[in-house]
Amino acid sequence: MSWPAGTQCVAKGDHRKPRSGELVYNKGDILTIVDISPRKGYYKARHNTSGEEGLINSSSVRERDALRVDPRLSLMPWFHGKISGPEAVGKLQPAEDGLFLVRESIRHPGDYVLCVSVSGGVIHYRFYSNNKGSIATILLKPKQKQGTKSAELELSKTGWLLDITKLTLGENIGEGEFGAVYEGDYMGQRVAVKTIKCDVTAQAFLQETTVMTKLQHKNLVRLLGVILHKGLQIVTELMSKGNLVNFLRTRGRSVVNSVQLLHFALDVCEGMEYLESKKLVHRDLAARNVLVSDDHVAKVSDFGLTKLDSKVSDKAKLPIKWTAPEALKKEKFSTKSDVWSYGVLLWEIFSYGRQPYPKIPLMEVKEKVEGGYRMEAPEDCPPGAYALMRVCWEQEPRKRPAFHKLREKLEQEIGKCTPGPGSEPQGEIRSGSGC
């Protein structure tokens, strides 16, 4: 067995009395492999939360699994849907005090019934309140619906379930479509916490989170884990400079030069090249979904719509100005439709966060673009960058370049603008003279 650098491992047990050079950790802690060690059976590793580095014995950790995308993974495995009272009683056999399930009432749709096994019988509570006194027994054991898997159990087995007592929530730093985003601290690490309160949405997001557990790249916002409390809380690395649109709008040309813009473009492109290699389609690539780290690295976020297949569920929600014509018309999503969106994102970058298709009413954009209309180059945009936008906007998806080709072109562009090694000025963001 050999683990490459970057592999994430979970500690199988506590290791509190280290020998010299060894890392201290507790059961369940996540450790990242840094290098192999000359000591046989050992690796050099970094503790994900304390940041400390040291040796670990490979037999005392296991590789952190990715969660499998499993539609049966349920946040509410005790919810049995619309079943009758007698059916619920049948499911709560053999009787066991505290065994419970929740069902939707057949006679009163929208009403929920808590059914609990007590002293050999089953009590049905139409209106469940938190008031413990009103229930004849403690809810001891959820009766799992057949065919579901408890998300909580799966998440904890794979090391993606975080401990809420170790999380401190800070300021609100953003509003998502489904809930607020907070800054926070998880065992000394600065994190962002996205809260999703509604159970149904949380369930949908859980599936998306399972996609994120498989992805690790320097230009994708990294998932640290989730917390199941009041819905779902998704904990990711903190991107302290916020989203790219606001970043560029609030700084403008006087602070950010075109080389720095090219670096942001390259960052996003590399993240997308990685998604492309995993055969994943983002579907909602736009500057608002790119976040900027403390050290000005741009990372793609918001995998809310990322899907392995190419069918879309809700056409009305598509971001028209960013979506490729074939995706808008025939729901054909592909890496090449992501490339189209990437072209729009390039336009956003080089216009310092302007809204695309300025002055054109949203209703008219689709038709105009289908008729061959394309946006003009943003003011002072390097011609090389505009040429890239135009190839991304080829009507014919297969004529658009792949992300690895775009990356090569961007690297050339950066090469043209950056003076040779040794003579780079040190700028606030990333250096380069500008084109």
Looking at residues 301 to 360 of the shown chain, list those that interact with ligand ADP (rule: CB under 6 A).
301-302, 304
Least separation, in Å, of the C-beta of 294 and ligand ADP?
10
User: Which part of the chain contacts ligand ADP (CB under 6 A), choosing from 168-176, 322-330, 354-362, 403-411?
Assistant: 168-176
- Is residue 64 close enough to count as binding ligand ADP by CB under 6 A? no
Looking at residues 115 to 134 of the shown chain, list those that interact with ligand ADP (rule: CB under 6 A).
none
Select 318 or 388, whichever has its Cβ closest to ligand ADP. Answer: 318
Q: How far apart are CA 206 and CA 197, in angstroms?
A: 12
Q: How far apart are CA 297 and CA 435, in angstroms?
A: 20
Least separation, in Å, of the C-beta of 173 and ligand ADP?
5
Select 156 or 246, whichever has its Cβ closest to ligand ADP. Answer: 246
Contact mark string toward ligand ADP, 350..389, x via CB under 6 A: ----------------------------------------
- Is residue 177 close enough to count as binding ligand ADP by CB under 6 A? yes
Phi and psi at residue 196, to the nearest 5°:
-125, 105
Least separation, in Å, of the C-beta of 76 and ligand ADP?
22
Looking at residues 216 to 255 of the shown chain, list those that interact with ligand ADP (rule: CB under 6 A).
221, 236, 238-239, 242-243
Distances (CA, A) of 290 to 45, 182, 235, 426: 29, 17, 17, 24
- Is residue 291 close enough to count as binding ligand ADP by CB under 6 A? yes
Least separation, in Å, of the C-beta of 297 and ligand ADP?
12
Select 299 or 336, whichever has its Cβ closest to ligand ADP. Answer: 299
Q: How far apart are CA 2 and CA 9, in angstroms?
A: 12
Q: Where are the alpha helices (DSSP H) in 222-354?
A: 244-251, 258-277, 325-330, 335-350
Task: Give how many residues touch ligand ADP by CB under 6 A.
Answer: 21
Four-point Cα dihedral 127, 129, 135, 139, nearest 10: 110
Within 13 Å of residue 328, how many CA atoms lie on the same side as its CB?
Answer: 17
The full DSSP string for 34-95 is EEE-SSTTEEEEEETTT--EEEEEGGGEEEPPPPP--TTEES-TTEEEE--HHHHHHHT-S-
Long-range own/partner contacts, residues 176-181 (CB < 8 A, 24 or more apart): 177/304, 178/205, 179/231
Q: Which residue has the CB atom at the shortest distance from ligand ADP?
A: 174
Select 135 or 221, whichever has its Cβ closest to ligand ADP. Answer: 221
C-beta separation of 150 from 77 below 8 A? yes
Least separation, in Å, of the C-beta of 87 and ligand ADP?
37
3-class secondary-structure state, position 25? strand
302 is catalytic: no
Within 10 Å of residue 242's Cβ, how many Cβ atoms? 13
Q: Which of 14, 35, 70, 284 is catalytic?
A: 284
Least separation, in Å, of the C-beta of 198 and ligand ADP?
12
Active-site residues, by number, are 284
**Residues in the site for ligand ADP, rule: CB under 6 A?**
173-178, 181, 192, 194, 221, 236, 238-239, 242-243, 288-289, 291, 301-302, 304
